[in-house]
Each structure stands twice: as C-alpha cells, then as structure tokens.
C-alpha cells in the first residue's frame, strides 16, 4: 500500500513538472529536459560500467548535453542550422579522449559512450520539434507535445493494469517475464481511446492522425520498454536508478519516450507538416 502511495505521489509530481514545463515556455521545457538528459546519461553510464568497461562519463554527458541544446535551439528557431554541425567534431573528440585514458576496452568504451548519446540525448532533443511543429507555418502551440505525453502515459498505465488483471500470454518472456500480450493490446485500445479524446480538444489534426500517433507510441514505446529491460537484465538490476521513488530511475520512466519520440517526429514531419 505504501509503495502505491509513493508511486502515485511521485507520478503526480512528475506529470505536473513535465506538463508545466511545456505550458510555461520553450525555455522551461528546454531547461527541464536538459536536466532529464543529463540525469539519464549519468544513469546509463553508471548502468553500463563494470570492472573493464569504462564509458567516458563526463565527456559523454557534455557531448550529449550539447547535442540536446543545439537541436532544441534550432527546433525553436533560436539559432541557425550551422550549430548542428558542431556535434560532428564533438563526437570525434571522444575518440581522441580515449587515447589518453589507457583503458582496457577502448572500442567498447567509445561505442558505449556514443550509444548513450544516441539513445538518450537525441530522442529527447527531437521532442523540441513536437513542441511546436506549427512553427513551419508561422504558428505556435503546445497541443502536439501535451497529447504525446498524455497518450504515452495512458498507454503505459493501461498496459500495466490490464496486464495485471487478465495477462496470461507472455509477450517477450526471455526479456520481461511480466509483460503480456493482453496488456499490450489493452494499452493499444486505451491509447486509441485517448487519441479520440485528444482530437475533441485539439483540432489541429483530424482524429485519424491522432489515432496513428497513438499506435506508433504503443508499438515503438513497447519496444523501448523491452530494450531497457534487456539492458537492465544484462547487468542484473531491477531499476535503472532510484531518483524517482516508486518508479526507479530516469530511464525507467522515459524508456517508452526514447523510442516513440523519433518515430512520432518522423510521422509528423513526413505526413502531416511536410
């Protein structure tokens, strides 16, 4: 009972912070999600490190933070495209830094460091494009990003509750023994239902676009959940961290977002606001 109360309280505060950062301004959103990016990278590098594997924790966080900021600033038309090009030499510097570290597994260290940046910083940075894709038409609103997170939370919660209630057939037992097909289907159905509710309030797009986005979130987010479970299973830990009481770490809360954000971004810009 205590864990449920803790989980609910933490989840409520988490939702208020995320939605509040979106509603207040692009600057609060960038600040909050820059912090989430940094915490997520620190969590990932701690999770992946062992006696021989030593990712570049500090330089990886700096490179990831710059990637997030450069993409975010560009997404909000605050800087030009050229700033994105700086990410190329920054990533190459990671190879040079490894020369001076004298570690046992330089290839693996570099690969793991860059993996963290591509897995965490890049997807979270792309959220800034969802914040206001209407900028391409000289407009500005927060509907798409609020809807993205709302549908994600509905899908995640519904999959969890339906799975507990009637889950019988394992979805991917080798990686996540508790996840079921029933839970995934329940998440999908509730996600489409959430998309319909969203379409009643946010009329920027017809319902079928919101429905397709909900399907993308369910499928891609489900794989994101499984991938993070695979990472945790490979290092024998239950949670990626403990920063969020009752929920675990940053990666535990954003595993679905990290995979669904890039696919939703592509769908929005390729098929809606091309």
DSSP state of 141: -
Question: Residue 135 pLDDT more than 70?
Answer: no
Distance of CA 28 to the CA centre of its chain: 18
Contacts of 28 (CB under 8 A, 6+ apart): 20, 21
Q: Closest Cα to residue 267, out of 190, 213, 207? A: 213
Cα–Cα distance, 178 to 235 (Å, whole number): 18
Residue 47 has pLDDT above 90, yes or no: yes
What's the domain range around 96? 2-272
Structural domains counted in the chain: 1
Gyration radius (Cα) of the chain, Å: 19
Predicted pLDDT at 246: 65
- pLDDT higher than 70, residue 49: yes
Inform me whether the pLDDT recorded for 6 exceeds 60.
Answer: yes
DSSP-derived pairing of the beta strands 170-172 and 176-180: antiparallel
Q: pLDDT higher for 234 or 57?
A: 57
């Amino acid at each position: 009972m205590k864990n449920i109360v803790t989980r609910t309280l933490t989840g409520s505060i988490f939702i208020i912070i995320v939605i509040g950062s979106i509603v207040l301004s692009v600057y609060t959103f960038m600040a909050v999600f820059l912090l989430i990016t940094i915490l997520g990278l620190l969590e990932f590098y701690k999770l992946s490190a062992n006696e021989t594997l030593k990712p570049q924790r500090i330089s990886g966080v700096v490179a990831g933070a710059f990637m997030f900021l450069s993409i975010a600033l560009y997404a909000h038309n605050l800087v030009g495209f050229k700033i994105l090009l700086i990410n190329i030499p920054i990533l190459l510097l990671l190879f040079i830094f490894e020369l001076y570290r004298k570690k046992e597994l330089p290839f693996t260290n570099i690969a793991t460091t860059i993996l963290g940046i591509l897995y965490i910083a890049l997807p979270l940075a792309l959220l800034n494009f969802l914040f206001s894709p209407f900028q391409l038409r000289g407009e500005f609103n927060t509907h798409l990003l609020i809807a993205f997170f709302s549908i994600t939370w509905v899908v995640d919660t519904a999959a969890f509750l339906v799975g507990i209630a009637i889950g019988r057939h394992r979805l991917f037992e080798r990686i996540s023994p508790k996840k079921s097909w029933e839970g995934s289907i329940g998440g999908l159905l509730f996600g489409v239902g959430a998309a319909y509710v969203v379409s009643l309030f946010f009329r920027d797009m017809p319902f079928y676009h919101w429905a397709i986005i909900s399907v993308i979130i369910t499928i891609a987010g489900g794989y994101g959940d499984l991938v993070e479970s695979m990472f945790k299973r490979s290092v024998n830990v239950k949670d990626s961290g403990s920063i969020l009481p009752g929920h675990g770490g940053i990666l535990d809360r954003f595993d679905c977002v990290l995979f669904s954000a890039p696919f939703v971004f592509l769908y929005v810009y390729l098929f809606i606001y091309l």
